Amino acid sequence: MNSSLLFLIPLLPLIGFIINGIGFRHVPKSLAGVIGSAASLGAFAISILAWNAFEGQPQVVKLFDWISIGQLTIPFAFQIDQLSLLMLMVVTGVGSLIHIYSMGYMHHDEGFGKFFAFLNLFLFFMLLLVMGSNYVIMFIGWEGVGLCSYLLIGFWNKVTNYNNAARKAFIMNRIGDLGFLLGIFMIIQTFGSVEYLEVFAKAANGSFSINDTVIVTITALLFVGAMGKSAQIPLYTWLPDAMAGPTPVSALIHAATMVTAGIYMVIRSNVLYSLAPATLGVVGGIGLLTAVVAASIGLYQNDIKKVLAYSTVSQLGYMFLALGVGAYTSAMFHVMTHAFFKALLFLGAGSVIHAMSDEQDIRNMGGLRKHLPVTFWTFFVATLAISGIFPLSGFFSKDEILAHVFEHNQIMWGIGLFTSMMTAFYMFRLLFVTFFGEFRGTHDQKHHLHESPATMTIPLIILAVLSAAGGLLNIPHVLGGGESLAHFMAPLFELSKQVNPDLFEGHLEHSTEYILMGVSVGAAVLSILFAYNLFMGKKVVPAADKDVTGFPKVLQNKYYVDEFYEAVFVNPMRKLSDLLYSFGEFLIDLVVNGTGRLVQFLSGRLRLLQTGETGFYVFAMVLGILVILAWNLLLK
């Protein structure tokens, strides 16, 4: 394949953005969606070509030297290797499905063309992020997807809450980005380059010992960036709010692709992270904590998208947990399966919301199974997958993570297992309450219930197939598989293995693996049964907000973290800015104007001497002569 074709991958969505963006209101609706989707499909097609042409060695394709200053050169170049190819497939593949879905979902929206323009722009930046051959290009893509996330969360910009959510997302991400930026500065200072291949080669040349302070600092700073983008504690609260955006956006940006950028970044920098087990410890710890906390909040949410949002935060935590124990491949595996089933869940939720005339509260749903059969069945597949039921994709990826965690630390494994039980519970709670039982909505809504059009259901079906079969990518040896993903990705971690072989050691007995699998599936089934008993047997409907008390109320209010941030960070910032303006500026001007007044005052006094009377001047002159005489004669 001609390597210049690679540039078309991000270029096509960019062209789509330009056509739909500049031509907004002029491009007819039917065309806008087609252009947007075609751009995405085109990028997908070329990605497949690139996949087929890939020969196993990382390939860097340089466009031009972007910046050259002093000793530093930053080329504008793309790197094609196992990692970027996998990300390309996920981003363009899932992205294309969501574009097609959006043609149906956004059909009635007046901002249809604008929506596709933004979606294409997002793809462009996301592709830049995963294809760039150095940290600066990654950062450009990183900020760019943040912009698109902002634009799409606040897509319906007449609603103040949505705008608040958009702003919160951008600013919170910015905080993370600063960490990333400082990390890049430090990389430049340490390695004199930002190119991945150069940096990693220098990092692995033996001059850095394990847990070298510099490397630990760099990786920690980069991880701050990942915390922001991938919604980890403490920078996670923007993601649930981000559900204000249209549902396809939640599926594409806030579930399948953008939020996994943090994981991509850590895997990309695996050499550095392997050199810094101390940072990996933090990564794993934060990941686990996020997974538990978010899952527990998910137990009591009643907004269909909020449940999925917390589930996303929790699953991202899972991925960081995997990274934390050095299981890079497992994290990437989970990124992929999660992209399938979570995109499917969101698109299914979108189909429900579409049918329910924009209702999102599951307490007002129920019994939708009969009216939305395709949506129901695909949603069911995804729910099974995320709950880790054999043999769906989620089972394989989650089990792999848990197995690695078990090798590493059994307490963490226990907490991880507990999290996965909560996951199975809240997902089946969602499924049962939404699709089973009696319909609880208004008469009007009932009247309008309908299955979504084919543009929406076909992507659902494709994603359902992927969610079901995605596990085939990496079937473990113990189940007679070839671990093909692990083999494919192995070259990425060669340097890591070289610098820190301990991280990759540890091997479980087959019998242990069987037990672990059994335990995790058993646990999931147990919580599904529990949910079944509660919501199908006893036909419980989640209580109205005012009837929730005690710890569930704390959970429903997300541990009051938003209120805490508001009180501890946001308000003091506001107060400080008001104080600096009212008091600081006042003080400075007091000095400035005071100086002016003083000069005026003194000059006013001096002016009194200028009387214009000859007599006074003669008197002053005589006085002066006397003083000089006295000085010379008496005092000298």
Partner 1 sequence: MIPHLLSFLTFHPLVGSVVIALLPNSQKEAFKWIAVFFCACQVVVSAVVYYFFSTQTADFQMVEKADWITLSMGSLGTVSIDFILGVDGISLPLIMLSSVVMMVGVFSSFSIAKREKAYYSLYLLLTTSIMGCFLALDFFLFFLFFEFMLLPMYFLIGLWGGPRREYASIKFFLYTLVGSLLILIVMIGLYISVIDPYESELAKTMVHTFDLRLMTDGRNYLPDSILTPSGEITLLGVPSRMLAFWLLFIGFAIKLPIVPLHTWLPDAHVEAPTPVSVVLAGVLLKIGGYGLLRIAYPIFPDAAAEYAFTLAILGVISIVYGGFNALAQNDLKKMIAYSSVSHMGFVVLGIASLTAEGLNGAVYQMVSHGILSSLLFLLVGVLYDRTHNRLIDNYRGLISYMPLYTIITGITFFASLGLPGFSGFIGELFTLMGGFQSDRLPVWLTALGTLGIILAAAYFLWTFQRMFFGKPWAKNPTELPFLSDLNRLEKWMLIPLVLMSFALGIFPGWLFSLSDKTVSHLLKIFE
> What is the contact surface with partner 1 in residues (CB under 8 A)?
65-72, 139-140, 143-144, 147, 150, 154, 157-160, 163-164, 166-167, 170-171, 174-175, 177-178, 181-182, 185-186, 188-189, 573-574, 576-578, 580-582, 584-585, 588-589, 592, 596
CB of 587 to partner 1, least distance (A): 9
Q: How many CA atoms lie within 13 A of 10 on its CB side?
A: 20
Q: CA 416 to CA 516: how far, in whole Å?
A: 12
CB of 233 to partner 1, least distance (A): 19
Task: Return the CA Rg of the chain.
Answer: 31
Amino acid at 614: T
Comparison of 210 and 214: residue with beta carbon closer to partner 1: 214
CB of 511 to partner 1, least distance (A): 51
CB of 274 to partner 1, least distance (A): 25
Q: CA 29 to CA 52: how far, in whole Å?
A: 35
Q: CA 77 to CA 140: how far, in whole Å?
A: 13
Comparison of 139 and 310: residue with beta carbon closer to partner 1: 139
Comparison of 181 and 424: residue with beta carbon closer to partner 1: 181
CB of 140 to partner 1, least distance (A): 4
Closest CA to 327 of 416, 244, 404, 425: 404
| Other beta carbons within 10 Å of 410 | 9
CB of 225 to partner 1, least distance (A): 12
Comparison of 148 and 503: residue with beta carbon closer to partner 1: 148
Phi-psi region of 79 (alpha: psi -120 to 50; beta: other; left: phi over 0): beta
Q: CA 530 to CA 537: how far, in whole Å?
A: 10
CB of 153 to partner 1, least distance (A): 12
Structural contact between residues 104 and 246, judged by C-beta atoms closer than 8 angstroms: no
CB of 580 to partner 1, least distance (A): 5
Comparison of 132 and 470: residue with beta carbon closer to partner 1: 132
Comparison of 107 and 167: residue with beta carbon closer to partner 1: 167
Distances (CA, A) of 313 to 142, 157, 255, 276: 18, 25, 9, 25
Comparison of 30 and 189: residue with beta carbon closer to partner 1: 189
| Other beta carbons within 10 Å of 567 | 11
Q: CA 240 to CA 273: how far, in whole Å?
A: 29
The CA dihedral of 48, 53, 59, 65, to the nearest 10 degrees, is -70
Comparison of 108 and 158: residue with beta carbon closer to partner 1: 158
Distances (CA, A) of 381 to 348, 384, 465: 11, 5, 9
